[in-house]
Structure 1
Amino acid sequence: MRRIAWVCAVLLLVSVVLAGCGEKTPEQIVSDLSKRSEKMESYKSKGTMTINSGTAPQEYEVEVWYKKPHYYRVSLTNTKKDVTQILLRNDDGVFVLTPHLEKSFRFQSDWPENSGQVYLYESLLSSIIDDSARKVTPAEKSYQFEVAANYSQNQSLVKQQIWMDHKYNPQKVQVLNDEEKVMVEVQFESFEADASFDKDAFNMERNMTGYAGRSVPTLAEEKEAADDKPDNSLAVFTPDYIPEGYKAADETTVETPDGPAVITRYQGENPFTLTQKQPVSVEASAPAYGKPVDLGYTVGILLEMDGKKRLSWMYEGTELELIGELPEEELLKVAQSFYGQEEEK
């Protein structure tokens, strides 16, 4: 009798141990993610972002630094052009920096609280935690999540798949459109939780003069190098999307102290203009009444003045600017449609 009782006790103990070693339920996984989101003090991540919305995939190196409560540094480098943009948030505001062009803009903004980004870890955590219809698939070495994509600046993205290891470090993200095509993919190469930073890591001046231990070529140096080339003409592009009911009315080229500028006027219910020109150095030290916007392939500057919106951004070495009364969603669609376009001949 004692032997039977002893065997039963052992079996009960083994079953308890096995139960404790079993796979976590989706509810337990989401609970773990919620706790990590609340306790996260800082992190560093590196990865490669591939965008498939143009005629050919385009790659960007993405590096993210975060320190609680609101310090951010996001570096986006076009691997083909070796051009870097930096999104920075510190106690002075939100900055969009283009170091090699000596361009800086400062905003009074709560970015990125109301504009999730696929390369931000906290955005991925929130998308999983907040989606009650999420799908969680545990695997031997990772967890896979399928959740809704919630990127207000690109309504064509509807679903995302997220892979994390069993320590909940991000591995890969794929964002799909309604045709199940992968439009954006981020492959994380490294992720360091509870990272430490230099005292001036989020300082605007430091990030304008150097990043990741590299010196930044200035606009003057690039122009000097360009003077040695036989062709330094302005590259002009045509948008692939124009709102219904609009058409190009006329196009003029004007000479400015910084070179030619091509101005195209579009007629419609809310007329707008497109200006294309050589980039010039601009430092906006006063906070602008606008916000940074994610165009997928670059970061744009959206300002509102006298009832009109002004969206400016860089593409293939050309500075573009849209000005008009178009709704923001339409303005962004026009700008996003430049990706993958060929220079006009």
Structure 2
Amino acid sequence: MRRKPWIYLIILAIATSLVGCGVKDANEIVSDLSKRSEELESYISHGKMTIHTGQEPLEYDVEVWYKKPHFYRVALKNLKKDIVQILLKNDDGVYVLTPHLKKSFRFQSDWPASSGQVYLYQTLLSSIVDDQQRQFQTGKKEYLFEVAAKYSLNQNLKTQRIWLDENLYPKKVDVLNEDNEVMVNMVFDRFKANASFDKDAFEMQRNLNSLPGKSEQTMGKLQGAERSKESVEAVTPGYIPSGSRLVDEQTIQTPDGPVAIMRFKGDQSFTLTQRHPQAIEASVTAFGQPVDLGQTVGVLLEIAGKKRLTWTDNGTDFELLGNLSTEEMKQIAKSVFEQPLK
């Protein structure tokens, strides 16, 4: 019996529609993400990060540049203070740059492999691929994964929800604590894969000079060498570990200006120093990593068995040195923000 041609057309149309409408399951998407993490050559992303761990939300404008194999440039703009800091990684090491102060701090680190960040595509990819207990939902034009949070420097973050668009690029991330409260939210508004960069895009000096000028407010606060000679209006931490107390406080004069020193003794002894910022390039051979302190980005180093956390805020350089856990050091540092001057 001879079949009519239109029957074949119907069968072909049905088969084609079934293939075209096929929705990938979680395993297929995870496989695609694993391949992408290996094959990713470069990208530029942009979005807004909101941190809910303080008394009021902190908002950052975040732009990320990445170029294979290990070049990163992350520009973090504190929207409230209108201040930009740059995390930079190139062949020379990892830098924390504060362009409006012309400050650079270079150290050796395996960042971001050792301490992922919510705004880095690679961190999100590895979080999904590595979590065998992942949960998955699919929408019309997006995919949602719920996985364990991979942020070693903040043990309070337990899970994260990662939304990817139909091309498997990031749309949104919520990071939650053990009570399922959103502590960090990242919303991406741009993502460009296979981006091209200038030859010097990841060089330190170019990025240190990346700001076109300084605001009058910044210039009023910081007057270079003249400012460095003024007295230091020290700030006492709002949080002091249980069993520790302030036993000594003094200000000493150095060739670069006064330095306020607070010594705390007890179960967990530590020292906090404060001074006016110097427009300098600092470089250490110690192994360390950048630390998100909410208001600013600090540098955590381990030197001779002790931890050293440094950061700059509100026209002051801070250095915290002691035998403390990373969480305790971060809590002390964060408690300094918004504290009244002595």
Distance in 1, Cα, partners of 2:325 & 2:214: 36
| 1:159 matched residue in structure 2 | 159
Q: 1:153, 1:293 within 8 Å by CA — same for their partners in 2?
A: no
CA RMSD of aligned residues (A): 2.9
Distance in 1, Cα, partners of 2:213 & 2:16: 59
Distance in 2, Cα, partners of 1:299 & 1:27: 37
**Between Structure 1 and Structure 2, how many residues are aligned?**
338
Deviations 1:111-169 (A, max 9, x none): 11111111111000100111111111111121111111011111111111111110111
Identical columns (%): 53
Distance in 1, Cα, partners of 2:44 & 2:273: 37
Question: Relative to structure 1, is the Cα distance of residues 2 and 239 closer, same or farther in structure 2, using a 3 angstrom cutoff?
Answer: farther
Distance in 2, Cα, partners of 1:137 & 1:111: 31
Q: 1:295, 1:335 within 8 Å by CA — same for their partners in 2?
A: no
TM-score by length of 1: 0.87
Q: 2:117, 2:123 within 8 Å by CA — same for their partners in 1?
A: yes
TM-score by length of 2: 0.88
Deviations 1:256-300 (A, max 9, x none): 555554322211234111122322223124x43131332242221
Deviations 1:181-230 (A, max 9, x none): 1111111121100000000001111111125xx346798885349989xx
Q: 1:105, 1:284 within 8 Å by CA — same for their partners in 2?
A: yes
In structure 1, the gaps of 5 or more residues are none
Distance in 1, Cα, partners of 2:96 & 2:111: 11
Describe how 1:167-186 pairs up with structure 2 within 5 A: 167-186=167-186
Distance in 2, Cα, partners of 1:35 & 1:240: 47
Give the aligned residue type for 1:289.
Answer: A
| 2:333 matched residue in structure 1 | 335
Moved more, 6-15 or 321-330: 6-15
Q: 1:238, 1:338 within 8 Å by CA — same for their partners in 2?
A: yes
What SS class does the counterpart of residue 31 from structure 1 fall into? helix
Moved more, 13-22 or 190-199: 13-22
In structure 2, the gaps of 5 or more residues are none
Q: 2:243, 2:268 within 8 Å by CA — same for their partners in 1?
A: no
| 1:324 matched residue in structure 2 | 322
Q: 1:48, 1:60 within 8 Å by CA — same for their partners in 2?
A: yes
Question: Relative to structure 1, is the Cα distance of residues 35 and 282 closer, same or farther in structure 2, using a 3 angstrom cutoff?
Answer: same
Describe how 1:18-37 pairs up with structure 2 within 5 A: 18-37=18-37
What SS class does the counterpart of residue 32 from structure 1 fall into? helix
| 2:140 matched residue in structure 1 | 140
- Of the three residues 282, 289, 303, the one matched with 2:286 is 289
Describe how 1:3-42 pairs up with structure 2 within 5 A: 7=7, 10-11=10-11, 14-15=14-15, 17-42=17-42
| 2:241 matched residue in structure 1 | 243
Describe how 1:82-93 pairs up with structure 2 within 5 A: 82-93=82-93
| 1:204 matched residue in structure 2 | 204
What SS class does the counterpart of residue 117 from structure 1 fall into? coil
Distance in 1, Cα, partners of 2:316 & 2:30: 44
What SS class does the counterpart of residue 113 from structure 1 fall into? coil
